[in-house]
Structure 1
Amino acid sequence: MSRVIHVFRNPDRFIVGTVGEPGDRAFYLQAVQEGRLISVLLEKQQVQVLAERIIALLEEVHRRFGAELPDDDPIVEDLEPLAVPVDEEFRVGTMGLGWDADASCVVVELLAVTEGEVDESVVLDDTDEGPDSVRVFLSAEQARDFAARAELVISAGRLPCPLCNEPLDPEGHVCVRTNGYRRGVGIAPSAGEPSQD
């Protein structure tokens, strides 16, 4: 069976969002164009890498080709949640990123997880063999907006412990800096009760 490549040349929306509670969130990328919706599942680290690489790509394109860059400090206008239903098309394995000089846009390709290694020649290519993928073409402004929203979504997780910087669960956590005492979240000891710090 030949691969399926979902192409979004002028998406109405390309965002990252989550489903679930902090500490147990599933990360999704969604592309929407003219009523067509695709959602793919990926790891938080993949979202972070993609956002960082998009910013680096925009800066490189500006440096090498003089392409206009959108504002460095964008205001994220699309704060709406993921469109529902969130039906996972596939889990992302390999990601590709490029610059289409003819269209002056960023090209993001998300390829499905496969059991074997992915041949690099299938990334950003229309070959019939290879994993299914989602290919999205973004203006520089759309790409910058995607990266800015991704940073907000990533940082909206669990708060870090002020002592060890590890994520805090709602029940607290065993902090290495307190010799194993369990730290609560914002719970102060009662009068006459010994502190666990």
Structure 2
Amino acid sequence: MIDYRTYQPEAVPAYGARFQYGRFGSMVAEGHASGQVAPRWVSRISFESRQGGAWQVGPSGADFGKSDQSVARLINRIQLHDALTLSLDVHGLYDRSDGMGLHRFTPLTTMETNKRGPVLPADQDRRQTWWGTSPSFARMAGLQPGQKPFHHVSSGAAFFRWRRNSPGRALKLRQVSMRATGGNMIISARRWNPWRMSPSTRAPTHWCRVCV
């Protein structure tokens, strides 16, 4: 079992930020602020964003491999009286990053080779990557024939808690999960990753779409 506790809001003001810049235009920014909003009400907000970093080179010289991901969290804790505490935790994720780029370390032999299909040579540039699918699969999946692999995920959640301390009794803790649409969490994921870099009609592909 792994038991961990995330940062919680405190009455003493605290804040911080960090920025990082790397090769291929990769950037990471994060920050947080915590403190007292009103008497008996403390809050903490935090965020992180990862951008850029397209280090691979795709067909026709297109940059590939960038990150476009942001997350944020807001925690409020209100002390209604000495025996009752209310907490609201809201967080979300937005991800529109590129998918997985594959590299040909050895010549690519498709399932059509025995029928005199193409054998694609191994890549000489370590940054080179490829993708592709058959026109029929692209139409079925709603893709463009030369569309980049992508990783699209959006999620959000809200949790409401109340905690009551009863004199002479053990601590009672109850948790109710809630959201604006009537549940505790919303997740939407749509991914496109080709496991073979060939437009062959028999080149395996990967497609996933999940809505919860």
TM-score by length of 2: 0.20
Q: Which has the higher contact order (CA 8 A, sep 6+)?
A: 1
Larger of the two Rg values belongs to structure:
2
TM-score by length of 1: 0.21
Structure that is richer in helix per residue = 1
Structure that is richer in strand per residue = 2
